[in-house]
Amino acid sequence: MLRIDLLGHLRIRLEQQEIKLGPARQQAILAVLADHLGRIVPRDELIHSVWGASPPASVDGNVHTYISGLRRVLEPERARWSGGEVLLSEPPGYRLRLPPHSIDLATFHDLRDRAGERRTAGDHEGVVQRLDSALALWRGEAFGGLPGPFAERRRAELSEERLAVVEQRLESLLALGEHSDLVPELEALVQEHPLRESLWETLITALQRAGRRMEALDRIAHLRGVLREHLGVEPGTAIRLLHHQLLAGDPAHATPEPNTRRRSKPELLSVIPEGVTRPQLAGRELETAKLRSHIRDIETRRGRSVLVEGDAGIGKSALLSAVLASIEPRCYHLAWAVAEKFCQEPLSALSRALGMESDVPIAMNDVLKRVEQLCANASLVLVIDDLHLADDPSLLVWDQLCLATRSLPLLMMATARSDVDVSEFARLRRGIATRDDVIMPLRPLSRAASSQLIHQVVGMPPGPALQALTTNALGNPLVLRQTIAMLVRDNAVRAEGGVVDLHGAGGVGSAERALAASMTARLDRLSHDALETLRAAAVLGQRFTTSELAAVVGRWPSQLLDVLDEALRAKVLAHVGQSLTFAHPAQRRALYDGTPLDMLPLLHRRAARSLADSGAQVERVCDQLAAVSDGQLDSWVVEWLVSHDDELAACAPLPVFWVLNQALDTCPADHPHRGVLVATRARFRCQFGT
């Protein structure tokens, strides 16, 4: 069934699948034919409507190409040389033959007319129901993005039609006595259409009936200034009459007319994951204020998409929990779920959030329709935690719903890790970044915020030693909380002088062990290839270069880009100038300790040779050689020691002395450089007393 939605992005819906129609001019041709549904549109009129009064010389061929393309989409089963039954070529032009209600616009007009009948009968509740259904058909600006005089003209006409329906709906709601609830929506509308007096009249009437007399007078004064500035006129008769009533304090107009039936409030959806609490936050005041402002916006039916992203444990879920728990969902649906990594059922998180219990598989169209149904009677806040774990169909639906926020009262909020590299999620994120949506990165806590968090956990301000943990924890709230919990469990902290601090040398040791346990937990998220590469990097030491690591693992530097990028995203590695360093010494130690013992001598030999070949400091090479636990040194070591004998004197004595001894033990008696090695060792003993 063909449906032309009012966004102007024409789509064919065949068996509940949406297929894009291709070039904008091809869509514009279909829009013209649909506007003249069932009637022949002359070829010249079609060209003028799409290309304007001065079409290019090649337009005839373009029309033929676009018509052929439309036929392929409208009737995919049509025989190649068949004329078809939907898009017909009939002199002097073309005709689109479809049932009238195959087009959203016809449905929109029918619902509007039926609402008029209910208004005549005095059924304002019926009016609102039908107009809500009519407005739910809209997806944004009419024929948005389509070229040509026809699209420009119809875009303006349909926008006016939609606004008129919005006003009719508001008038019926006002008649139902919902003046207080209407004020936020009306405030947003008069800002969007500041010269439309009828909207101002409805707003002022709503304020008057809500007993907000001074605010109503203020709006009249503001309207007068706007009209004088832009049009040079005074407000019309209706506004002047309202002004007179407000000045006179006439109570007869402060409440709705008697015998008005009040529309029943819709039942609001409230789906919240189990175990959600309102956590204490530290250092997130700005982010909290922004999210609360987006929730307030949804009360005025202005939708938006928000993605909160950051490292694991940085506080993404806690931020959403604190914000959503602090605002009672009085006037909107709340649909909230957590995506699961190994869930086999497609669209699971979305269906759970939207309360869609079903024994049969749920299709993408079912989710989209459910969202539209909810938005028809109240604003919807849709929340998915860990969106990066969602299945591909869920990500596709999320992307489509992001576009729908332009016209639906829909606020979409999601969290995602910033270190993931899933292709479908990466595509979704790029789409969010290129649109007018919000990506909110959560940064590490500042030192002051980290101290505030420790204060919240232990109930007292932290002392100097405990505050030092804030630097080592890299501003990660989860790492801080886990470390503090371990210290409290081990009785490694004590309160004294109004602060709580580590308890002696044992407390410091406990803090280091606790912090190391929290930091090394990040290694569990790495792939096998990344772990093996980082174990080789751990052999090199805390700091190393990509070329040094490539030499140790026997690969080209370009072959390490993916695993190093993975480690950087996981915050296991960090850039320091042209080098790389482990984010925390505990991570390097855990990787080194996890390397099989029989592999360490080989890795240390490779590291020593790569460092020597790259001209690294002599002390770094000696450290690697001294770590070769089997005592077997390669033949190049003797030559290297002889060529660097003067530099060896400036190194730490123990590694150098060990290397010299091992070199002499493996060097034959008749080796030409043995005498130099003996002399170097003697000089070294004399200098350091070793």
Q: Which carries the bigger pLDDT value, residue 316 or residue 636?
A: 316
Q: Which carries the bigger pLDDT value, residue 614 or residue 342?
A: 614
Which of 230-239, 284-293, 491-500, 630-639 shows the lowest per-residue confidence on average (mean pLDDT)? 630-639
**pLDDT > 90: percent of the chain:** 6
pLDDT band with cut points at 50, 70 and 90 for residue 300: low
pLDDT band with cut points at 50, 70 and 90 for residue 56: confident
Which of 76-80, 374-378, 465-469 shows the lowest per-residue confidence on average (mean pLDDT)? 76-80
Strand 304-310 versus strand 438-441 pairing type: parallel
Residue 17 clears pLDDT 50, i.e. is over it: no
Average pLDDT, the chain: 80
- Eight-class DSSP state of 243: H
C-alpha 587/C-alpha 568 separation (Å) is: 13
Cα angle value 309/315/319 (rounded, 5°): 85
Residue 436 clears pLDDT 60, i.e. is over it: yes
Residue 458 clears pLDDT 90, i.e. is over it: no
Q: What is the pLDDT of residues 464-511, one digit of tens each?
A: 888 877 676 778 888 888 778 877 877 888 888 888 888 766 666 666
| pLDDT score recorded for residue 683 | 66
| pLDDT score recorded for residue 600 | 85
pLDDT band with cut points at 50, 70 and 90 for residue 307: very high
Which of 242-251, 414-423, 664-673 shows the lowest per-residue confidence on average (mean pLDDT)? 664-673
pLDDT band with cut points at 50, 70 and 90 for residue 383: very high
Neighbours of 565 (CB within 10 A): 14
Structure tokens at 126: 């019926």
Q: What is the pLDDT of residues 512-571, one digit of tens each?
A: 666 666 666 667 778 888 888 998 898 888 888 888 888 888 888 888 988 898 888 777
pLDDT band with cut points at 50, 70 and 90 for residue 109: confident
**pLDDT > 70: percent of the chain:** 80
C-alpha 174/C-alpha 206 separation (Å) is: 7
Q: What is the secondary structure of 476-530 as a DSSP string? A: -HHHHHHHHHHHHHTT-EEEETTEEEE-HHHHHHHHHHHHHHHHHGGGGGS-HHH
Residue 96 clears pLDDT 90, i.e. is over it: no
Question: What is the mean predicted confidence (pLDDT) over 234-245?
Answer: 87
The Cβ-side half-sphere exposure at 58, using a 13 Å CA radius, reads 3
Q: What is the secondary structure of 193-205 as a DSSP string? A: STT-HHHHHHHHH
Residue 257 clears pLDDT 70, i.e. is over it: no
Question: What is the mean predicted confidence (pLDDT) over 290-315?
Answer: 82
CB contact set of 385 (below 8 Å; sequence gap of 6+): 273, 316, 317, 320, 336, 337, 338, 339, 414, 415
Q: What is the pLDDT of residues 207-218, one digit of tens each?
A: 888 888 888 888
| pLDDT score recorded for residue 12 | 46
**Residue owning tokens 């549109």:** 41
In three-state secondary structure terms, 95 is strand
Let me know if 585 is exposed, middle or buried by CB neighbors in 10 A (0-12, 13-18, 19+): middle
Do residues 13 and 3 lie in contact, with contact meaning Cβ atoms separated by under 8 Å?
A: yes
pLDDT band with cut points at 50, 70 and 90 for residue 69: confident
| pLDDT score recorded for residue 489 | 79
Q: Which carries the bigger pLDDT value, residue 613 or residue 682?
A: 613
Residue 636 clears pLDDT 90, i.e. is over it: no
Residue 135 clears pLDDT 80, i.e. is over it: yes
Residue ranges of alpha helices (H) inside 521-628 are: 528-540, 546-553, 561-569, 585-593, 600-613, 618-626
Do residues 601 and 565 lie in contact, with contact meaning Cβ atoms separated by under 8 Å?
A: no
